[in-house]
Structure 1
Amino acid sequence: MDKSTIYVFIDEAPNPVLELEAPVNFELDTHKLADGEHLLKIVSRDPSGKEGIRKIPFVVRNGPAIAVEGIREHEVVDGVLPVMIHAYGKGDSRSFLIEGSETPQSIPLWIWVLIITFAAWTLYYLIRYLSMN
């Protein structure tokens, strides 16, 4: 019985990275790809010569993650902006590093509002309790 042939392409490469008979199991090593958007194109050709194509877009992010606070994409800005940039890698998967594994961020406004509201509520009830005695 003849089997279909599977051709696997990465991005717009003219030559396939894999050419095997179906069914196919393989490991895609993303370390060989640059960070960013890529396309996995799978072409199947059956014994009669008919072709099927499947395209799967994916994003590679092997390098250190970059966190930026203070400016967003396509934001309209004016004046002097305080911008905080932090880049951190995943490190070695065999060991866990505490230092540098977190992204420092400022405390969001809603948390400040929550803390101030709770403190004011506590102070109000403390004053009411003391004035009753």
Structure 2
Amino acid sequence: MQYLQPWNELEEQEEQLRNQVNQLPAEQKKAYYKQQSTQLKDPDTYASLNWLFLGGFHHLYLKKYRLFAIEFICLVISITGLCLGYHQAVYLLLAIAIYELPQLFFSQKIARQYNYKISEKIFTELAN
């Protein structure tokens, strides 16, 4: 994900894709919107998951299963380590927090970029 991609650039990409979709024949356009409605993710839901839950559960929402597994395992290891008296485990917990901060603050953009990529993939499949 490009956290620093300007909003207007993302909006321009989305607008170009909408214009391309509008040029499709009616049947293809209908198929595009039908597929899109089942695959797109709500940016607000993603942002809420990002704010409310620890352990990377927001990655599940965007189907990033490997990233979720890694982050969740690291969280479990760090909490277990702290409970067992290994104070160095706090560094792993801090690393997770530092990794999560950009995702927390750019969650709306991340979800919109995900939706754009999905929409672009659907368009490419239907246009060919």
Indicate the structure whose relative CO is greater, using CA pairs within 8 Å and at least 6 residues apart.
2
Q: TM-score, normalised by structure 2?
A: 0.23
Structure with larger Rg: 1
More strand by share: 1
More helix by share: 2
Q: TM-score, normalised by structure 1?
A: 0.22
